[in-house]
Amino acid sequence: METIFGLDLPTLWFLVIGGLITGYGVLDGFDLGAGALHLFFNKEESRRLALNAIGPVWDGNEVWLVIAGGALFAGFPLVYGTILSIFYVPFMLFLVALIFRGISIEFRGKEPMAWWRKMWDVAYMVSSTGITLLLGLILGNLIHGLPMNEKHEFTGGLLTFFHPYALLIAVTTLSLFMLHGAIYLVMKTENRLYAKLTVLVNNCSKFFILCFILSSMVTLIYIPHMTDEFKEHPWLFVLPMLAVLTVLNIKRNIDARKYFTAFVFSSCITAILLILFAIGLYPNIVISTTNPAFSISIYEAASSPKSLKIMLLIAAIGTPLVISYTIFVFWTFRGKVKLNEMSY
């Protein structure tokens, strides 16, 4: 099989898609988290500031979802069709929540009435929380594996998705994004709202650390196929160690009020957790709990080598562009958020 940098093409694409999903988690993670925290702010001014802190960037962050989806479609069409149709109802709810979130950000500020703004505040919080929980639920099920027969057909029902492990991962995802969002907001605000957020960010970090410990332990005990790879290659244990160190560093930097550094570390933990997930999966991409042999591997699902090579070229040209204007936009809107007549 053809290789580039010693990696075969499906593996490279597995990494590219992993990178895109990580980018989505890191970027949209903080604005989803900010949304989940929205109702903790009581005053109109605070809510507007919190909303405008993500105002110029949330749309660009969501692009990573579109690109990651497109890359999965292109790289592993079989997986794209299988995962999306198995999680039909969760994905439909996810899409509707995305729409509601977009319109609540857009429409909230268009009318001055208190009931109008309150309504969209609730819609914004509920949809942000819902999106995060659904993503976590799907992630939890993918870690756990799904009942699938030899034709990769799903043999469960809607209730199959709601087992305790998947719910735990859903809550953990929410706690991570809330922490990530709170750190972002505290960087972007000043004065009273900043003071309030310093307390909130502290509580979020405690909530996340609790979830992190719990889900790590449960995964170690109950999900053996996620840890097999680590037993075979003990040097991989560096990664869980790194995860623990990163979590400790988030806490340390929050306590020292070094929020930018804390934000870098909360981005890192998102990445590390997804890397751990990817190592556990590889070389499979959807695991069958019915029989490990019925799992979908990246080699079975991959597009043709020619297509993968073309798309690698597209990604190699496109990614630096996307990253450079992402940085440009974040740089333009650096510093504390201010309200003006164009604000939400």
Q: Which stretch binds another protein (CB under 8 A): 168-176, 203-211, 232-240, 326-334?
A: 326-334
Rounded to a whole number of angstroms, the minimum distance from the CB of residue 61 to another protein is 9
Q: Of the two residues 261 and 319, which places its CB atom closer to another protein in the complex?
A: 319
**Positions 196 through 215 that interact with another protein (CB under 8 A):** 196
Task: Considering the complex, state which of residue 113 and residue 238 has its C-beta at the smaller distance from another protein.
Answer: 113
Q: Identify which of 204, 166, 239, 251 has the alpha carbon closest to the alpha carbon of residue 30.
A: 204
- Within residues 270-289, the interface with another protein by CB under 8 A covers none
Q: Is 76 helix (H, G, I), strand (E, B) or coil?
A: coil
CB of 217 to another protein, least distance (A): 33
Per-residue x/- marks for another protein, 45-84, CB under 8 A? xx--------xxx-xx-xx-xxx-xxx-xxxxxx-xxxxx
Binding to another protein by residue 343, rule CB under 8 A?
yes
Name the minimum Å distance from CB 27 to another protein: 11
- Residue range at the interface with another protein (CB under 8 A); choices 188-196, 211-219, 241-249, 275-283: 188-196
Q: Is 2 in the site for another protein (CB under 8 A)?
A: no
- Rounded to whole angstroms, how far apart are CA atoms 46 and 160? 41
In angstroms, the CA 133 to CA 174 distance is: 6
- Within residues 218-247, the interface with another protein by CB under 8 A covers none
Are the C-beta atoms of residues 198 and 257 closer than 8 Å to each other? yes
Positions 142 through 161 that interact with another protein (CB under 8 A) = 153-154
DSSP sequence for 274-342? HHHHHHHHTTEEE-BSS-GGGSEEHHHH---HHHHHHHHHHHHHHHHHHHHHHHHHHHHT-SS----TT
Residue position matching structure tokens 């999306």: 84
SS3 content of the chain, % helix, strand, coil (to 5): 80, 5, 15
Beta bridge partners, 189, equal: none
Applying the rule CB under 8 A, the residues between 86 and 145 that interact with another protein are 86, 88-89, 91-92, 95-96, 98-100, 102-103, 106-107, 110
CB 17 within 8 A of CB 106: no
Number of residues near another protein (by CB under 8 A): 76
Q: Which of 3, 7, 85, 210 binds another protein (CB under 8 A)?
A: 85
Within 13 Å and on the Cβ side, how many CA atoms surround 35? Answer: 29
